[in-house]
Amino acid sequence: MLDVHDLSPLVRRWSKHSDLSAQDRDAILALPFTRKVFGKDAYVVREGQETTDCTILLKGFAFRQKLLRDGGRQIISFHIPSEFVDLQNGLLGVADHNVQSLNRCEMAIVPRSALMDLTASNPEIRLAVWIDTLIDASIFREWVVNVGRRDSRARIAHLLCELVFRLKRSGAGQNGFFDFPLTQEQLADATGLTAVHTNRTLQSLRRDKLIKLNSGMLTVLDWEALCEAGDFDELYLHQQV
Amino acid sequence: MLDVHDLSPLVRRWSKHSDLSAQDRDAILALPFTRKVFGKDAYVVREGQETTDCTILLKGFAFRQKLLRDGGRQIISFHIPSEFVDLQNGLLGVADHNVQSLNRCEMAIVPRSALMDLTASNPEIRLAVWIDTLIDASIFREWVVNVGRRDSRARIAHLLCELVFRLKRSGAGQNGFFDFPLTQEQLADATGLTAVHTNRTLQSLRRDKLIKLNSGMLTVLDWEALCEAGDFDELYLHQQV
DNA sequence: CGTTAATTTGAGACCATTCAATTTCGGTGG
DNA sequence: CCACCGAAATTGAATGGTCTCAAATTAACG
């Protein structure tokens, strides 16, 4: 696939939940940004760091995480192209979590001031940005539930449901067949399990013919059963059309 | 304590992270609202419900929660007076979680339209509201970490640290002595543990002289040790002065 | 002062972890 | 194109933290 060189993915995504005029779209595309390519596992932002930019993922996968004193790691969210991976940190001024690339990524780095100016003068865009941060928050809430109250099988299934749902919505994949570069260790760190147990849990989902997962490709064999297994209800993603 | 009849708690809180002028304050106090009293365990908003208002907690404690298909409950956040308990739901239009009172509560119910008008015309206030939702999100992220990667002792300790920190900051309590009406079952539902195990964990914290907790009152006996036990770092609360 | 809610205690079962070893996969260089 | 290498995935067995189920005790409240 070709590299991405403008902010059109962002426009496309916001157009789904907000009513942007042609001028709005042009204004977004006119945002100043620096394009930057990250290798695998590179740090985009570090916890504690003062931030002056907001980062948009144009291509590749990324994730947010926090490290514990004892060395443990908790992944807090995954991100797919067209998403702001660092709006929350950017707006608050001091990063409260780490943002890392998962594979080779292309990012657009927008100065916070430029984004703030745009949202100050344009209510429609302001609302779109705000809604983005609110949907982020809703996803975090669901993750608290996932990690707090579901058993390993439901946790993994739920996470897969969420990612597949978002990938589908962004136009990625076809016939339930997706690029899925997450390692089992990353799945484990996102669900609060160990890599070993994640492995066994995935095997059980495969055995029951809910999914196929290998070589970085995920196939959903039985979407309904997967949702059932994961106690998945898409409401929290606020993507109803 | 006397009942609260205006939005001054909100003004007081926002003034801590935002630079509000006298006009800004007056504009906030001029927001139209309905005052409503809730008994213990009353539902303020239900998941799935369409929302037209934003609710501010004036007095008492409240919490957000989600119910699982299997009957389990996960508490997602606790709220103390002056906080928006329902800004996220209110802005998104459809509630993705339940909001419940914990004890007798007084709430101010502000029509979403009034809040949106105010933020549309006043950039300073808009930023204050936005920052509020972003700090909420940061707290959710930390809860994912708490529930996902810490053992029972650290989970409980961390939750206590967060609540004490926020209570202190809002001016409640003195000498590490706080009104603390949460039941062990609620603590359990917030940490992803069972009530039984929460009980044993609290006993261990008491035995080690970190806290005293009974009759709805919490005393912090050793703040540093409690933070240590809970792996607590206040950064995520974004309250640095 | 009775009644219900909340806390506490005990014992056994189980889900997930830990630790270690093995196999497979993906990429690289000869 | 195959040999090699490190990363990722897989397997096994033993341990352990937390849960479950029940019963007993204590606190809260009208």
Distances in Å between the Cα of B105 and the Cα atoms of A170, B43, B90 are 42, 11, 19
Alpha-carbon torsion B16, B20, B23, B24, what sign?
negative
Query: What are the pLDDT digits (tens) for B19-68?
Result: 899 999 999 999 999 999 999 999 999 999 999 999 999 999 999 999 99
Q: Which residues on A lie below 8 Å from B150 (Cβ)?
A: 68
A24 φ/ψ angles, rounded to the nearest 5 degrees: -55, -50
How far is the first Cα of chain B from the last one, in angstroms, to the nearest whole number? 28
Query: Least CB-CB distance to A136: which of B123, B137, B150?
Result: B137
Query: In this complex, is the C-beta atom of B73 within 8 Å of any C-beta atom belonging to chain A?
Result: yes
Residue to mutate among B50, B96, B151, B234, with most A CBs inside 10 A, is B96
H-run or E-run covering B77: strand B73-79
Ordered per-residue pLDDT tens for chain B, 241 residues: 567 889 999 999 999 888 899 999 999 999 999 999 999 999 999 999 999 999 999 999 999 999 999 889 999 999 999 999 989 888 898 999 999 999 999 999 999 999 999 999 999 999 999 999 999 999 999 999 999 999 999 999 999 999 999 999 999 988 889 999 999 999 999 999 999 999 999 999 999 999 999 989 999 999 999 999 999 999 999 997 6
CA distance A137 to B87: 12
Å between B194 CA and D17 C1'? 13
CA A236, chain centre distance (Å): 14
A46 φ/ψ angles, rounded to the nearest 5 degrees: -115, 140
For residue B2, the distance in angstroms to the closest alpha carbon of chain A comes to 34
Ordered alpha helix ranges (H), A110-233: 112-121, 123-149, 152-169, 184-191, 195-207, 223-230
Residue of A nearest to B149 (CA): A192
Exposed / middle / buried, residue A113 (Cβ in 10 Å: 0-12, 13-18, 19+): exposed
CA distance A181 to A178: 9
Q: Are A61 and A78 in contact (CB under 8 A)?
A: yes
Q: Do B134 and A191 touch (CB under 8 A)?
A: no
Which among A55, A120, A130 has a CA at the least distance from the CA of B123?
A120
Q: Do B236 and A141 touch (CB under 8 A)?
A: no
Q: Are B7 and B29 in contact (CB under 8 A)?
A: yes
Å between B114 CA and C13 C1'? 56
Ordered per-residue pLDDT tens for chain A, 241 residues: 567 889 999 999 999 888 899 999 999 999 999 999 999 999 999 999 999 999 999 999 999 999 999 889 999 999 999 999 989 888 898 999 999 999 999 999 999 999 999 999 999 999 999 999 999 999 999 999 999 999 999 999 999 999 999 999 999 988 889 999 999 999 999 999 999 999 999 999 999 999 999 989 999 999 999 999 999 999 999 997 6
- In A80-99, the residues whose Cβ lies within 8 Å of chain B are 88, 91-92, 94, 96-97
CA distance B233 to B60: 26
pLDDT value for B106: 94
pTM for this model (two decimals): 0.96
Tokens of B235: 């950064």
